[in-house]
Amino acid sequence: AAGVIQSPRHLIKEKRETATLKCYPIPRHDTVYWYQQGPGQDPQFLISFYEKMQSDKGSIPDRFSAQQFSDYHSELNMSSLELGDSALYFCASSLGDRAVGANVLTFGAGSRLTVL
Amino acid sequence: AQTVTQSQPEMSVQEAETVTLSCTYDTSENNYYLFWYKQPPSRQMILVIRQEAYKQQNATENRFSVNFQKAAKSFSLKISDSQLGDTAMYFCAFMKPWNTDKLIFGTGTRLQVFP
């Protein structure tokens, strides 16, 4: 079965540089979530999109922006990178419009960003 | 705001034994969903089990079962016949019942299974 695809898997950047992470949800999934997991931390919610519109916003820095495109893939853009941005970034997808049942998120393998 | 608390930072268990991981949460919602996710050393987030708050019956998935106590806002995970492959970080998570709502995670419990 197709899973959530994230790219790149690993990324190394210098301070003040820009990085872009991509997420391709499971086919037919219309909702995408971005989470940030620092070393030894639990995943922190950044932002989510449903049908290409922002549906919720969490602790996402102003330096970060994201969008969901017409093919439902999403990109997380991070500018003016800081050392503290070094983390594992997860994308998850789900089927937002459903009749019943829990909104089960399926996670990608994550993109590891290292800022030097 | 909803909060999820996991009071056991680390647990260990011997292979084939049973272990229980604790989770409590705080919410004013009556309907919601609860999850346990597993994060092995590969860092992949894997769904272990889920529970709908309106269901009284505790969810079970093979060796994994939960003890859901709605009044006490408690949601513990029991792993029976522990295997070496169960070694991982386990996160308890809460979700409101809206279609596109997000997961709120606890701080996790690191489980080590010893041979």
Is the pLDDT score of B36 beyond 70?
Answer: yes
Dist. CA A7–CA A23, nearest whole Å = 7
User: Which of A33, A101, A110 has the CB atom closest to B43's CB atom?
Assistant: A110
Question: What average pLDDT does chain B have?
Answer: 94
User: Which of A42, A103, A110 has the CB atom closest to B108's CB atom?
Assistant: A42
Tell me the pairing of strands B109-114 and B10-14.
parallel
Instruction: Pick the residue from chain B with its C-alpha nearest to A102.
Output: B33
Number of neighbouring beta carbons within 10 Å of residue B44: 16
Contact B43, A110 (CB under 8 A): yes
Taking CB atoms and an 8 Å limit, are A48 and B102 in contact across chains? yes
Section B91-105 average pLDDT: 88
Contact B19, B11 (CB under 8 A): yes
User: Residue B43: which CATH number?
Assistant: 2.60.40.10
**Confidence bin at B56 (pLDDT 50/70/90):** confident
pLDDT number for residue A95: 83
Full residue range of the structural domain in which residue B23 is found? 3-114
DSSP code for A9: S
pLDDT number for residue B100: 75
Contact B96, B1 (CB under 8 A): no
**Domains in chain A with CATH codes:** 5-115 (2.60.40.10)
Taking CB atoms and an 8 Å limit, are A56 and B47 in contact across chains? no
A17 φ/ψ angles, rounded to the nearest 5 degrees? -80, 180
Number of neighbouring beta carbons within 10 Å of residue A53: 10
Taking CB atoms and an 8 Å limit, are B47 and A48 in contact across chains? no
Quote the minimal CA–CA distance from A83 to chain B in Å: 21
Tens-digit pLDDT profile for chain A (116 aa)? 679 999 999 999 999 999 999 999 999 888 999 999 999 999 999 999 998 999 999 989 999 999 999 999 999 999 999 999 999 999 999 987 665 656 789 999 999 999 99
Quote the minimal CA–CA distance from A88 to chain B in Å: 9
Number of folded domains in chain B? Answer: 1
Dist. CA B25–CA A9, nearest whole Å = 33
A96 φ/ψ angles, rounded to the nearest 5 degrees? -70, -40
User: Which of A96, A103, A109 has the CB atom closest to B95's CB atom?
Assistant: A103
